């Protein structure tokens, strides 16, 4: 049995950013993931500029390191497409990319291997997380977490759940961390030979599914991530299979059919759930924190969460260091983490949730605005929708 100061469960963007942020802490850290890397992760594959900004703070040579990472596509604009209306284009100021998660997540894990002393456990699915004892001190003196998998048995003083929408860390505690979470369900496939620009992320707002959108994102080497996302309440109680809806739209929507005509479907259409931020809720407890998708830090407008995951992973690392410095692991002290996540991430996502509700609730108004797409106010809306950032 190995004991660690901190165990990070999940080696995606949140977990790897957390491990990188702990690299000079002097703490003994374990990073555990159920998969062996490289592994696929179904999502839209967008790498927003803020994700690279996080890396720059963690590693001074980020730009040079990322330049050597070849499995990426520079993207310079987003475009919003509605039926029979001229597309709205928004150019990006900061550098942003698309990259298959198979490659990008492996790139991040390689950085952890190269730049930290983290003990990494790949291919180790966790089936139980529990505290071995409880102290009346309320968390000032830590009890021990026991983490068990098929081939591992670890203990730690503090645990950080970065293990996605179905987080076992979240499910292992009595506090309901996922009360009333708003969910979106999406499907994704890869196509080759799509008739689209290689530097533009396309979003299609659909008459068929007003509370959803279709996307086409270039990921490099003439390959495109093509997907469909809808709010769960759009399909709840209705006989809507999102995979079937995806295929129907590809065949029947004239705009999408035009750009995919002659394209080659490279793999199966895969589905995934997105836990959307809708309002503030607890994401920590005594000796534990949640980050990334486990903390439902997915942008309700765009469905992306890589940048927010990495930001929250760094904030979790900072809180963990403070816990060990002050010898305080109580739930009350951990609320500092909740507050920072809310202030630095949650407020923005909350605004986007309200904007998402407006966009999905008033499709006719959106079309009216789109018809005057050259208007500056419409472009400002596009900037809010598709993360154009100011120069810094």
Nearest partner of 169 among 275, 272, 33, judged by Cα: 33
Contact 8, 119 (CB under 8 A): no
**Which DSSP state fits 298?**
B
pLDDT tens digit sequence for 280-319: 888 999 999 999 999 989 887 777 889 999 999 999 999 9
Contacts of 257 (CB under 8 A, 6+ apart): 250, 251
The more confidently predicted of residues 353 and 95 is: 95
Asked if residue 140 has pLDDT above 80, the reply is: no
Residue located via tokens 């696929």: 40
The more confidently predicted of residues 3 and 378 is: 3
Q: What is the pLDDT of residue 275?
A: 80
pLDDT tens digit sequence for 150-206: 899 999 999 999 999 889 998 887 666 555 556 778 999 999 999 999 999 999 988
Contacts of 3 (CB under 8 A, 6+ apart): 28, 144, 154, 155, 156
Q: What ranges do the domains of the chain cover?
A: 2-75+99-180+279-353, 77-98+181-275+358-385
Q: What is the pLDDT of residue 336?
A: 97
Q: What is the pLDDT of residue 137?
A: 43
pLDDT tens digit sequence for 4-58: 999 999 999 999 999 999 999 999 999 999 999 999 999 999 999 999 999 999 9
Domain 2-75+99-180+279-353, CATH homologous superfamily name and number:
FAD/NAD(P)-binding domain (3.50.50.60)
Count of residues making up the chain:
392
Average pLDDT over every residue of 255-270: 95
Q: 392 falls in which pLDDT band (50, 70, 90)?
A: very low
Q: What is the pLDDT of residue 176?
A: 60
For 116-198, where are the alpha helices, taking DSSP H only?
168-171
Q: What is the pLDDT of residue 391?
A: 43
Q: Which of 69-73, 94-98, 183-187 has the lowest mean pLDDT?
A: 183-187
Question: What is the pLDDT of the chain when averaged over all its residues?
Answer: 86
**Which DSSP state fits 294?**
G
Asked if residue 343 has pLDDT above 60, the reply is: yes
What are the E-state strand segments in 142-222?
A: 145-149, 153-161, 182-192, 200-205, 212-220
C-alpha distances out from residue 337 to 193, 215, 272, 295, Å: 45, 34, 28, 12
C-alpha distances out from residue 197 to 158, 222, 223, 224, 312, Å: 47, 10, 11, 10, 33
Q: 359 falls in which pLDDT band (50, 70, 90)?
A: low
Residue located via tokens 């009216």: 368
In percent, the amount of the chain with pLDDT more than 90 equals 62
Contacts of 252 (CB under 8 A, 6+ apart): none
Q: What is the pLDDT of residue 93?
A: 83
Give CATH for domain 77-98+181-275+358-385: 3.30.9.90
Q: What is the pLDDT of residue 280?
A: 82
Asked if residue 386 has pLDDT above 80, the reply is: no
Contacts of 282 (CB under 8 A, 6+ apart): 175, 177, 338
């Amino acid at each position: 049995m190995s004991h660690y100061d901190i165990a990070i469960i999940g080696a995606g963007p949140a977990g790897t950013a957390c491990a990188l942020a702990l690299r000079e802490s002097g703490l003994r850290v374990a990073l555990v993931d159920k998969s062996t890397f490289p592994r696929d992760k179904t999502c839209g594959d967008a790498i927003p500029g803020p994700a690279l900004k996080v890396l720059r703070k963690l590693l001074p040579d980020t730009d040079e390191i990322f330049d050597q990472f070849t499995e990426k596509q520079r993207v310079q604009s987003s475009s919003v497409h509605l039926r029979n209306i001229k597309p709205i284009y928004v150019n990006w100021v900061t550098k942003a990319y698309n990259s298959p998660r198979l490659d990008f997540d492996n790139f991040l894990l390689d950085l952890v291997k190269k730049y930290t002393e983290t003990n990494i456990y790949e291919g180790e699915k966790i089936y139980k997380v529990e505290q071995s004892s409880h102290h009346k001190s309320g968390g000032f003196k830590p009890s021990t977490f026991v983490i068990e998998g098929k081939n591992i048995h670890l203990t730690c003083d503090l645990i950080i759940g970065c293990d996605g929408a179905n987080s076992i860390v979240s499910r292992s505690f009595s506090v309901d961390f996922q009360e009333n979470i708003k969910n979106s369900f999406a499907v994704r496939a890869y196509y080759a030979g799509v008739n689209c620009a290689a530097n533009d992320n396309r979003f299609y707002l659909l008459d068929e599914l007003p509370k959803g959108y279709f996307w086409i994102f270039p990921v490099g080497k003439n390959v495109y991530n093509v997907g469909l996302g809808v709010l769960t309440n759009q399909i709840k109680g209705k006989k809507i299979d999102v995979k079937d809806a995806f295929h129907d739209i590809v065949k029947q929507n004239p705009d999408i059919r035009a750009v995919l005509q002659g394209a080659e479907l490279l793999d199966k259409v895969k589905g995934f759930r997105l836990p959307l931020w809708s309002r503030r809720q607890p994401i920590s407890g005594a000796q534990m924190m949640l980050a990334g998708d486990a903390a439902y830090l997915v942008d309700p407008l765009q469905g992306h969460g890589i940048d927010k995951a990495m930001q929250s992973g760094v904030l979790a690392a900072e809180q963990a260091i403070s816990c060990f410095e002050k010898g305080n692991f109580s739930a009350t002290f951990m609320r500092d983490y909740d507050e920072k996540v809310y202030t630095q991430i949650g407020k923005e996502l909350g605004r986007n949730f309200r904007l998402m509700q407006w966009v999905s609730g008033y499709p006719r108004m959106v079309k009216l605005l789109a018809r005057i797409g050259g208007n500056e106010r419409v472009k400002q809306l596009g900037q809010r929708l598709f993360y154009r950032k100011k120069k810094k």
